[in-house]
Amino acid sequence: MDHACVSGQSLGSEPTLPYLSPELRGQTLLVGANFASAGIGILNDTGVQFVNIIRMYRQYEYFKEYQRRVSALIGQQRTKRLVNQALVLITVGGNDFVNNYYLVPFSARSRQYALPDYVKFLISEYRKLLMRLYDLGARRVLVTGTGPLGCVPAELAMRGGRNGQCAPELQRAATLFNPQLTQMLKQLNNEYRSDVFIAANTQLMNGDFISNPRAFGFVTSKVACCGQGPYNGLGLCTVASNLCPNRDQYAFWDPFHPSEKANGIIVQRMLTGSTEYMNPMNLSTIIALDSKLADHA
Protein backbone atom coordinates (compact mmCIF):
# COMPACT_ATOMS: atom_id res chain seq x y z
CA MET A 1 0.00 0.00 0.00
CA ASP A 2 1.47 3.37 -0.94
CA HIS A 3 1.46 6.63 1.03
CA ALA A 4 -1.38 8.06 -1.06
CA CYS A 5 -3.78 5.25 -0.07
CA VAL A 6 -2.83 5.21 3.59
CA SER A 7 -2.95 8.97 4.00
CA GLY A 8 -6.30 9.02 2.20
CA GLN A 9 -7.67 6.52 4.74
CA SER A 10 -6.25 8.52 7.65
CA LEU A 11 -7.95 11.67 6.35
CA GLY A 12 -11.25 9.83 6.10
CA SER A 13 -11.43 10.24 2.33
CA GLU A 14 -12.20 7.57 -0.23
CA PRO A 15 -9.12 6.03 -1.86
CA THR A 16 -8.42 7.58 -5.25
CA LEU A 17 -8.60 5.32 -8.29
CA PRO A 18 -5.79 5.16 -10.86
CA TYR A 19 -6.47 7.75 -13.55
CA LEU A 20 -6.59 5.13 -16.32
CA SER A 21 -9.09 2.92 -14.44
CA PRO A 22 -12.31 2.41 -16.44
CA GLU A 23 -14.19 2.86 -13.15
CA LEU A 24 -12.99 6.47 -12.86
CA ARG A 25 -15.99 8.23 -14.38
CA GLY A 26 -18.99 10.32 -13.37
CA GLN A 27 -19.17 11.36 -9.71
CA THR A 28 -16.11 9.21 -8.85
CA LEU A 29 -13.98 11.79 -10.71
CA LEU A 30 -14.82 14.32 -7.99
CA VAL A 31 -13.03 12.21 -5.34
CA GLY A 32 -9.70 12.73 -7.14
CA ALA A 33 -7.35 10.47 -9.08
CA ASN A 34 -4.00 8.72 -8.75
CA PHE A 35 -1.62 9.52 -11.61
CA ALA A 36 1.39 7.66 -10.15
CA SER A 37 3.56 5.24 -12.12
CA ALA A 38 6.16 2.99 -10.46
CA GLY A 39 9.79 3.33 -11.52
CA ILE A 40 9.68 6.86 -12.91
CA GLY A 41 11.80 9.81 -11.84
CA ILE A 42 12.23 13.54 -12.13
CA LEU A 43 14.24 12.91 -15.29
CA ASN A 44 12.80 11.35 -18.44
CA ASP A 45 15.76 8.96 -18.74
CA THR A 46 15.08 7.46 -15.30
CA GLY A 47 13.47 4.02 -15.48
CA VAL A 48 14.38 3.34 -19.12
CA GLN A 49 14.63 -0.36 -18.19
CA PHE A 50 10.87 -0.45 -17.53
CA VAL A 51 8.31 -0.64 -20.32
CA ASN A 52 4.97 1.19 -20.23
CA ILE A 53 5.87 3.63 -17.46
CA ILE A 54 4.06 6.96 -17.43
CA ARG A 55 6.63 9.72 -17.08
CA MET A 56 5.97 13.01 -15.30
CA TYR A 57 5.22 15.08 -18.42
CA ARG A 58 2.59 12.51 -19.44
CA GLN A 59 1.08 12.47 -15.94
CA TYR A 60 0.68 16.24 -16.20
CA GLU A 61 -1.11 15.83 -19.55
CA TYR A 62 -3.46 13.38 -17.83
CA PHE A 63 -3.99 15.87 -14.99
CA LYS A 64 -5.05 18.52 -17.55
CA GLU A 65 -7.33 15.99 -19.25
CA TYR A 66 -8.78 15.07 -15.83
CA GLN A 67 -9.67 18.72 -15.23
CA ARG A 68 -11.40 18.93 -18.61
CA ARG A 69 -13.46 15.85 -17.74
CA VAL A 70 -14.43 17.30 -14.34
CA SER A 71 -15.33 20.62 -16.01
CA ALA A 72 -17.80 18.80 -18.25
CA LEU A 73 -19.49 17.54 -15.05
CA ILE A 74 -19.51 20.58 -12.77
CA GLY A 75 -18.34 23.53 -14.88
CA GLN A 76 -15.04 25.39 -15.09
CA GLN A 77 -15.33 27.59 -11.99
CA ARG A 78 -16.22 24.74 -9.61
CA THR A 79 -13.47 22.60 -11.14
CA LYS A 80 -10.91 25.34 -10.55
CA ARG A 81 -12.02 25.58 -6.91
CA LEU A 82 -11.94 21.77 -6.53
CA VAL A 83 -8.37 21.57 -7.85
CA ASN A 84 -7.20 24.61 -5.83
CA GLN A 85 -8.57 23.05 -2.62
CA ALA A 86 -7.25 19.54 -3.32
CA LEU A 87 -4.36 18.01 -1.42
CA VAL A 88 -1.78 16.76 -3.93
CA LEU A 89 0.86 14.20 -2.97
CA ILE A 90 3.99 13.96 -5.10
CA THR A 91 6.69 11.36 -4.45
CA VAL A 92 9.52 11.36 -6.96
CA GLY A 93 13.33 11.48 -6.81
CA GLY A 94 14.53 8.22 -5.29
CA ASN A 95 14.45 6.40 -8.61
CA ASP A 96 16.68 9.07 -10.15
CA PHE A 97 19.41 7.61 -7.95
CA VAL A 98 18.45 3.92 -7.75
CA ASN A 99 17.20 3.45 -11.33
CA ASN A 100 19.50 5.93 -13.02
CA TYR A 101 22.69 7.26 -11.41
CA TYR A 102 23.50 4.03 -9.51
CA LEU A 103 21.68 1.58 -11.80
CA VAL A 104 24.89 0.26 -13.32
CA PRO A 105 28.55 1.05 -12.60
CA PHE A 106 29.67 4.05 -14.68
CA SER A 107 26.13 4.91 -15.76
CA ALA A 108 25.68 7.71 -18.33
CA ARG A 109 24.55 10.17 -15.64
CA SER A 110 27.36 9.27 -13.21
CA ARG A 111 29.90 9.88 -16.01
CA GLN A 112 28.22 13.19 -16.80
CA TYR A 113 27.91 14.49 -13.21
CA ALA A 114 29.72 14.12 -9.90
CA LEU A 115 27.09 13.32 -7.24
CA PRO A 116 26.78 16.86 -5.74
CA ASP A 117 26.30 18.30 -9.25
CA TYR A 118 23.76 15.62 -10.14
CA VAL A 119 21.77 16.49 -7.00
CA LYS A 120 21.77 20.19 -7.99
CA PHE A 121 20.63 19.23 -11.50
CA LEU A 122 17.79 17.09 -10.09
CA ILE A 123 16.65 19.87 -7.76
CA SER A 124 16.58 22.41 -10.64
CA GLU A 125 14.56 19.98 -12.82
CA TYR A 126 12.21 19.18 -9.93
CA ARG A 127 11.66 22.91 -9.39
CA LYS A 128 10.37 23.19 -12.97
CA LEU A 129 8.00 20.24 -12.41
CA LEU A 130 6.58 21.82 -9.25
CA MET A 131 6.11 25.21 -10.93
CA ARG A 132 4.23 23.42 -13.71
CA LEU A 133 2.03 21.73 -11.08
CA TYR A 134 1.27 25.17 -9.63
CA ASP A 135 0.37 26.43 -13.11
CA LEU A 136 -2.05 23.49 -13.42
CA GLY A 137 -3.92 24.71 -10.33
CA ALA A 138 -2.36 22.81 -7.39
CA ARG A 139 -2.25 25.03 -4.30
CA ARG A 140 -1.52 22.51 -1.53
CA VAL A 141 1.20 20.03 -2.45
CA LEU A 142 2.77 17.51 -0.10
CA VAL A 143 6.29 16.79 -1.40
CA THR A 144 8.04 13.76 0.09
CA GLY A 145 11.81 13.52 0.05
CA THR A 146 13.61 10.23 -0.48
CA GLY A 147 13.80 7.68 2.31
CA PRO A 148 17.21 6.44 3.56
CA LEU A 149 17.99 5.00 0.11
CA GLY A 150 20.97 2.91 1.19
CA CYS A 151 19.09 1.13 4.00
CA VAL A 152 16.38 -0.74 2.07
CA PRO A 153 16.86 -4.55 1.93
CA ALA A 154 17.64 -4.42 -1.82
CA GLU A 155 20.62 -2.11 -1.23
CA LEU A 156 21.78 -4.05 1.86
CA ALA A 157 21.87 -7.16 -0.36
CA MET A 158 23.66 -5.50 -3.28
CA ARG A 159 25.78 -2.68 -1.84
CA GLY A 160 25.59 -2.80 1.96
CA GLY A 161 28.58 -3.28 4.23
CA ARG A 162 29.18 -6.15 6.63
CA ASN A 163 26.60 -6.77 9.36
CA GLY A 164 23.89 -5.12 7.29
CA GLN A 165 25.28 -1.60 7.26
CA CYS A 166 23.49 0.81 4.92
CA ALA A 167 25.08 1.38 1.48
CA PRO A 168 27.16 4.55 2.02
CA GLU A 169 26.95 6.07 -1.48
CA LEU A 170 23.16 5.93 -1.62
CA GLN A 171 22.95 7.31 1.91
CA ARG A 172 25.18 10.18 0.82
CA ALA A 173 22.84 10.84 -2.12
CA ALA A 174 19.78 11.02 0.16
CA THR A 175 21.62 13.22 2.67
CA LEU A 176 22.58 15.68 -0.10
CA PHE A 177 19.21 15.65 -1.88
CA ASN A 178 16.69 16.03 0.95
CA PRO A 179 17.92 19.28 2.59
CA GLN A 180 18.26 20.90 -0.84
CA LEU A 181 14.72 19.83 -1.69
CA THR A 182 13.37 21.44 1.50
CA GLN A 183 15.31 24.62 0.72
CA MET A 184 13.97 24.76 -2.84
CA LEU A 185 10.38 24.33 -1.58
CA LYS A 186 10.88 27.23 0.87
CA GLN A 187 12.11 29.42 -1.99
CA LEU A 188 9.09 28.53 -4.13
CA ASN A 189 6.73 29.31 -1.25
CA ASN A 190 8.43 32.69 -0.84
CA GLU A 191 7.98 33.39 -4.55
CA TYR A 192 4.30 32.39 -4.48
CA ARG A 193 3.82 34.14 -1.10
CA SER A 194 1.90 31.14 0.14
CA ASP A 195 2.60 27.79 1.82
CA VAL A 196 1.85 25.82 -1.35
CA PHE A 197 4.55 23.18 -0.93
CA ILE A 198 4.92 21.13 2.24
CA ALA A 199 8.20 19.22 2.71
CA ALA A 200 7.76 15.77 4.25
CA ASN A 201 11.08 14.54 5.67
CA THR A 202 10.62 10.87 4.81
CA GLN A 203 14.33 10.22 5.33
CA LEU A 204 13.85 11.02 9.02
CA MET A 205 10.45 9.28 9.25
CA ASN A 206 11.88 6.03 7.85
CA GLY A 207 15.15 6.53 9.73
CA ASP A 208 13.33 6.41 13.07
CA PHE A 209 12.15 2.81 12.69
CA ILE A 210 15.14 1.67 10.61
CA SER A 211 17.60 2.66 13.35
CA ASN A 212 15.40 1.42 16.22
CA PRO A 213 12.91 -1.16 14.87
CA ARG A 214 12.03 -2.70 18.26
CA ALA A 215 10.77 0.65 19.60
CA PHE A 216 8.09 0.49 16.89
CA GLY A 217 7.20 -3.18 17.37
CA PHE A 218 9.27 -4.59 14.50
CA VAL A 219 11.61 -7.57 14.86
CA THR A 220 13.81 -6.29 12.00
CA SER A 221 14.29 -3.35 9.66
CA LYS A 222 16.92 -5.14 7.56
CA VAL A 223 15.13 -8.23 6.23
CA ALA A 224 12.12 -7.82 3.92
CA CYS A 225 8.99 -9.86 4.67
CA CYS A 226 8.82 -11.06 1.06
CA GLY A 227 11.81 -11.72 -1.21
CA GLN A 228 14.83 -13.93 -1.65
CA GLY A 229 18.59 -13.90 -1.18
CA PRO A 230 20.43 -11.93 1.53
CA TYR A 231 17.99 -9.86 3.63
CA ASN A 232 15.25 -11.11 1.22
CA GLY A 233 16.57 -8.19 -0.81
CA LEU A 234 17.00 -9.71 -4.26
CA GLY A 235 14.40 -9.77 -7.03
CA LEU A 236 10.71 -9.03 -6.67
CA CYS A 237 8.11 -10.46 -4.30
CA THR A 238 6.69 -13.43 -6.23
CA VAL A 239 5.05 -16.78 -5.47
CA ALA A 240 8.57 -18.28 -5.34
CA SER A 241 9.73 -15.84 -2.62
CA ASN A 242 10.28 -16.44 1.08
CA LEU A 243 7.33 -15.01 2.99
CA CYS A 244 7.42 -14.00 6.66
CA PRO A 245 4.68 -15.33 9.00
CA ASN A 246 3.61 -11.86 10.21
CA ARG A 247 4.21 -8.83 7.99
CA ASP A 248 3.43 -6.42 10.85
CA GLN A 249 6.70 -7.45 12.51
CA TYR A 250 8.73 -6.27 9.49
CA ALA A 251 9.57 -2.69 8.62
CA PHE A 252 9.88 -3.63 4.94
CA TRP A 253 7.32 -5.57 2.95
CA ASP A 254 9.57 -6.24 -0.08
CA PRO A 255 13.14 -5.27 -1.09
CA PHE A 256 12.18 -1.60 -1.60
CA HIS A 257 8.89 -0.72 0.08
CA PRO A 258 7.92 -0.24 3.73
CA SER A 259 5.26 -2.56 5.14
CA GLU A 260 1.71 -1.35 5.69
CA LYS A 261 2.40 -0.93 9.41
CA ALA A 262 5.54 1.12 8.62
CA ASN A 263 3.55 3.26 6.18
CA GLY A 264 1.03 3.85 8.97
CA ILE A 265 3.86 5.24 11.15
CA ILE A 266 5.01 7.49 8.28
CA VAL A 267 1.46 8.82 7.77
CA GLN A 268 1.10 9.49 11.52
CA ARG A 269 4.24 11.65 11.33
CA MET A 270 2.75 13.45 8.33
CA LEU A 271 -0.45 14.12 10.24
CA THR A 272 0.93 15.25 13.59
CA GLY A 273 4.74 15.52 13.25
CA SER A 274 6.80 18.54 14.33
CA THR A 275 8.42 20.88 11.77
CA GLU A 276 11.43 18.56 11.86
CA TYR A 277 9.23 16.06 9.99
CA MET A 278 6.77 18.37 8.19
CA ASN A 279 7.82 21.83 7.08
CA PRO A 280 6.27 24.42 7.38
CA MET A 281 3.32 22.51 8.93
CA ASN A 282 1.82 19.06 9.34
CA LEU A 283 -1.30 17.67 7.69
CA SER A 284 -3.56 18.22 10.72
CA THR A 285 -2.73 21.93 10.62
CA ILE A 286 -3.29 22.06 6.84
CA ILE A 287 -6.71 20.39 7.18
CA ALA A 288 -7.77 22.81 9.94
CA LEU A 289 -6.59 25.84 7.96
CA ASP A 290 -8.08 24.74 4.67
CA SER A 291 -11.46 23.85 6.15
CA LYS A 292 -11.63 27.40 7.59
CA LEU A 293 -10.74 28.84 4.18
CA ALA A 294 -13.37 26.63 2.51
CA ASP A 295 -16.01 27.89 4.99
CA HIS A 296 -15.21 31.48 4.03
CA ALA A 297 -15.09 30.76 0.28
CA separation for the pair 231, 158 (Å, rounded) = 10
Residue 187 pLDDT > 60:
yes
pLDDT at 279: 97
Q: Are 70 and 79 in contact (CB under 8 A)?
A: yes
Q: Which residues touch 244 (CB under 8 Å, ≥6 apart)?
A: 223, 225, 226, 250
Residue 277 pLDDT > 80:
yes
pLDDT at 8: 44
* Identity of residue 220: T
Residue 46's pLDDT band, with cuts at 50, 70 and 90, is very high
pLDDT at 6: 35
pLDDT at 13: 65
CA separation for the pair 253, 261 (Å, rounded) = 9
- What pLDDT, in 10s, does the model give residues 128-179? 999 999 999 999 999 999 999 999 999 999 998 778 899 999 999 999 999 9
pLDDT at 91: 95
- What pLDDT, in 10s, does the model give residues 54-100? 999 999 999 999 999 999 999 999 999 999 999 999 999 999 999 99
Residue 213's pLDDT band, with cuts at 50, 70 and 90, is very high
Count other C-beta atoms under 10 Å from residue 214's C-beta: 10
Residue 204 pLDDT > 80:
yes
Residue 275 pLDDT > 50:
yes
Residue 106 pLDDT > 50:
yes
pLDDT at 291: 80
Q: Which domains does the chain have, with CATH numbers?
A: 3-295 (3.40.50)
CA separation for the pair 258, 189 (Å, rounded) = 30
- What pLDDT, in 10s, does the model give residues 214-269? 999 999 999 999 999 999 999 889 999 999 999 999 999 999 999 999 999 999 99
Three-class secondary structure of residue 177 per DSSP: helix
Cα 9 to Cα 3, 183, 202: the distances in Å are: 10, 30, 19
Query: 30-33: long-range contacts at Cβ-Cβ below 8 A with a sequence spacing of 24 or more?
Result: 30/70, 30/73, 30/74, 30/82, 32/86, 33/66
Residue 11 pLDDT > 60:
no
Q: In the 8-state DSSP scheme, what is residue 193?
A: T
